[in-house]
Chains A and B, each alone.
Chain A
Amino acid sequence: MTVQPDEVVVTVTVNGETVRHLVDPRTTAADFLRDGLELTGTHLGCEHGVCGACTVLLDGRSVRSCILYAPQLDGCEVTTVEGLSPVPGELHPIQEAFRECHGLQCGFCTPGFLLTVHEFLSETKGADEDEIREAISGNLCRCTGYQGIVAAVQRADETWQR
């Protein structure tokens, strides 16, 4: 691979697969995932760090991929919505809970919520409604009024064996 003077190499493990890509250093992490790796499940709702639609896990922590640059992913592990369920065609218990509890309508905010909730439930068990609302308060949903999402987190808290 010939590296142009205005490009950098990024080596990153995304959903368990290690890839090496040349990028223009000002490419955002979100655009790199969406356009470079064709993982279009990560959505962009504001591109200024408020809505949370672009949330992915970076070394297990939730981050907003719209305000990170692709080179900042170098050497890291990233999980996107496409990597939540290890088996294609099957849903992760969190995804299943969103379906059961009508935790989505248009689905645009949903990938961001799923990863935020994944991080939250990885660390917490038996949270009450207020704690759940606090945990998801950095993600905007324009459709659901959050009620189905809160119910889905409660359901996943019970069903996800972790």
Chain B
Amino acid sequence: MAAVTGTSVRPTAPPGLIGTRVNRVEDARLLAGRGRYVADVTLPRIKHAAFVRAWPSHARILSIDTTRARTLPGVVAALTAADLPPATLVDGNWIPGLAKTPQPVLARDKVRFVGEAVAIVVATSRYVAEDAAELVEVDYEQLPAVDHAGRRPSGHVPILDELPDDLIYDRGESFGNPDLMFRDAPHVFVKDLALARSMAAPLECRGTVASYDPAAGSLDVWCSTQSPHLLRRRLSAASGVAEHRVRVMMHDVGGGFGQKIAAHPEELAIALASCALGIPVKWIEDRRENLMAAPHARGQRVHLKLATDDDGRFLALRARIVGDAGAYSFNAASALIEPYITARVMTGVYRIDHYGYHVAAGLTNKSPVAPYRGVGFIAAQTARELLIDEAARSLGIDRFELRRRNMIRPDDFPYRSCTGLVFDSGSYLEALTTVERMSAYDDFRCEQEQARASGRFIGLGISPYVEPTGWGTEAMNQIGWHSFPSNDSARVSMDISGKVTISIGTPSQGQGIETTLAQISAEVLGIPLDDVVVSFTDSSSAPTSLAGTRASRAAVVSGGAVGLASQDLRERILKVAGALMETDASILTVADGVITDPSEDAASMTVAEVVQKAFQLTEIRSAEPEPNFTATRFYDPGATYGNACVGAVVEVDPQTGGVRVLRIVGAEDCGTVINQVVVEGQFIGGMAQGLGGALLERLAYDENGEILTTTFMDYLLPTSTEVPHFEVEHLESPSPYTWRGIKGVGESGTIGAPAAIAAAIADALAHTGSTVDRLPMLPEDVRAMVEQGEDRG
């Protein structure tokens, strides 16, 4: 059985490395157990840290006593905020109306969520450090917890003094004239959806090793991070060590999915501890810490209204979104990353000319919210697609047909949405039709009838979508999101042996970047894949990428920069080759590392020979005065949008509320495909995470702000038995605005799958008259739907 049923429907690339299925070059070391993750880093004199973390969710710190901890044998130090220079983290977002909430790297006067770091113990081993952490005595005056954005408990004390109502943002915007359209609309449909908190939960937790050298005045940091240059900036600001003396390094990262974008308070605190003590300090997070104190995600309530005419044409849309920020508007991208993005992408793949939204985000006494794969999109996608299904049912129009009537069409491109997104190219209708075929929709309807007659409830859900990828400056302007400069540079250097090293600032957390970027460079340069290595291990040698690896951007932005730099390098090599071969460089071809002059009976030289001669022969300098074979290029792509459609079939057990996903099919379009192996891996892995968010993953707090899900026995990730075999087909609509038409795909599957699964549950239980109003749909939530139906019936 093939792993994936896939065909390239519109192959566009000429035969070459770009577009070829290539096994990943990073795999051999990972399979041999020779991956190097941050927990594997060790240094002479290294000591191990454990954090003392807050147990109350909201409290004033009256005193901290570290005496007992410090006297335990093996303890080097026990440090509180008072022992370290004051350092805070603030988001770099400049959306008007967004309040700033500086977060101290160790809590000073107050703790604001369970798990907030209060002190660090450094000892000879992690075991001793944990023992000593339990001996640190913190005296708290407890305050009432704000457990729900915008809800004030009795005796309410604001989480931050400056924000008496805990609100950090409360604004809206209108496009077209939604008021008028709603007033005159023949039909209005309404939908409420609550998304619980969930999280990225990469299998490798966070971790860092910091080594300050007081003699050199330099700070070396190894970290499990997605954004080494961003972290370097924050480390420099916190420690006072100049940025060029701070190095951030990493080798392999065990998954990130957004959680490792931000500079985390713990990472800064460990660096400050190393500076204070003058020794290397290592902190490797455990799962309990990760679940309670690493940033969470989602946590939104969406209220949506759709106006249609009698034929089901979408006249206007209105959204009200409330986001649960957690205790701080986190430095990754601010607490608006969920609700604001939801609002801005709400109209999706449909022609909707009139739209208004209101977004509120409020602090709560919970772990802060940060980006997690599909951030913001999932809430928009799930609420909108569920609402469209409800409208279809009520209007008596088939669900595929209703979508088709309202979808942006191929001849609409470039299509400007009412909110100002300019969709460059895509296959929206085709993706929908492909999923209709793959899911055998007509047969499914009969099957569903028969099943129902025999007391089984199966349902089908569909979820077509478009997503911004790459997020260059133009895309950010279109979305109205201003948080990080999204450009990259890449340096492509050929050494004297004719082999190439690519340096980039966008590390891989499993996305196969070492392979795909090597494919790009090898194809452009005309050399074998094996002659290219990709290096992202050191912030001091990699060209700056402040954004790092996030937002489905590495293939588009780093890929484009690598492509452009490789083109420059190719030109320089051919120029020298032309001089050596005494011919016009423009007629030379290069393939498999050999440069050929087609006019001269196939006269040829290898690329390596050309480079070697250029170093040796001074005569060459009349053609190429500076024969260095290094090219660096900057790239900030035009706005580009990927698209896809996911279909899901589920069976619901009305007795237990259990949901089994029987099938998931998907048609995906990320423009020019560099490597199908990697694209399928991203798409399928993303859909599996979406399944977790739809059916399993919920971070729960009680009303006092106590977190209840602190192990993988309470916070359930999908296993191989909950996840079905995914069937995938590829469509290919290259972007006219990016290098070689590449679009991103990292987040795609995670965006699409939850809506498809939620809609399938709603379809299976449509006869009950109940609707899906939350994610995830745990068995008790499904049971509640069934019971509501029974009460009504």
Residues of A within 8 A of B (CB): 24, 26-27, 34, 39-48, 50-51, 53, 80-82, 84-85, 91, 95, 98-102, 104-111, 114, 129, 132-134, 136-151, 154
Contact = CB atoms under 8 A, between A and B. Distances in A.
29 contacts: A26-B127, A27-B127, A40-B36, A40-B37, A41-B33, A45-B204, A46-B711, A46-B712, A51-B287, A80-B33, A82-B33, A91-B32, A100-B23, A102-B677, A102-B678, A102-B680, A106-B255, A106-B510, A108-B35, A108-B252, A110-B31, A143-B681, A144-B684, A146-B720, A147-B726, A148-B3, A150-B720, A151-B1, A154-B1
Contact of A43 (B204, B689, B713, B717): B204
* Chain B interface bracket (under 10, 10 to 19, 20 to 34, 35 or more): 35 or more
Interface of B: 1-4, 23-24, 26-28, 30-37, 39-40, 127, 201-205, 252-255, 257, 286-287, 509-512, 677-678, 680-681, 684-689, 711-713, 717, 719-721, 723, 725-726, 749
Contacts of B721: 133-134, 137
A53 B203 contact: yes
B24 A99 contact: yes
Most B CB within 10 A of own CB, among A85, A106, A108: A106
B261 to A, nearest CB: 15
A24 B202 contact: no
Contact of A142 (B201, B684, B713): B201
Nearest to B290: A46
B509 A146 contact: no
Contacts of A138: 719
Q: Give the dominant DSSP class at A's interface.
A: loop
Nearest to B692: A142
B509 A106 contact: yes
Contact of A129 (B1, B36, B512, B711): B1
B720 A50 contact: no
A132 B721 CA distance: 9
B31 A48 contact: no
Nearest to A97: B31
A51 B203 contact: yes
A134 B723 CA distance: 11
Contacts of A151: 1-3
Given A46-B711, A145-B684, 17 more contacts: A40-B39, A45-B287, A51-B287, A91-B28, A91-B32, A101-B3, A104-B27, A106-B30, A106-B255, A106-B510, A108-B35, A108-B202, A132-B720, A142-B201, A146-B719, A146-B723, A150-B720
A147 B717 contact: no
A41 B685 CA distance: 23
Contacts of B254: 43, 45, 106-108
A140 B681 contact: no
A147 B510 contact: no
A41 B201 contact: no
A40 B687 CA distance: 30
Please provide the 5 A-B residue pairs with the shortest distance between their CB atoms, ordered closest to farther: A41-B33, A106-B510, A108-B254, A107-B30, A145-B688
A108 to B, nearest CB: 3
Contact of B720 (A45, A104, A110, A137): A137
Nearest to B711: A48
A41 B28 contact: no
B188 to A, nearest CB: 38
B681 A102 contact: yes
A20 to B, nearest CB: 21
A111 to B, nearest CB: 5
A105 B127 contact: no
B1 A106 contact: no
A134 B720 CA distance: 7
Nearest to A128: B1
A65 B410 CA distance: 55
Contacts of A42: 33
B720 A136 contact: yes
A136 B722 CA distance: 12
Contacts of A34: 39-40
A100 B2 CA distance: 12
B255 A48 contact: no
B720 A143 contact: no
Nearest to A28: B127
A109 B31 CA distance: 10
A97 to B, nearest CB: 10
A41 B32 contact: yes
A99 B204 contact: no
B712 A50 contact: yes
A110 B168 CA distance: 42
Nearest to A145: B688
Contacts of B23: 99-100, 102
Contacts of B677: 102
B711 A105 contact: no
B46 to A, nearest CB: 11
A39 B204 contact: no
Given A48-B287, A133-B721, A107 B711 contact: no
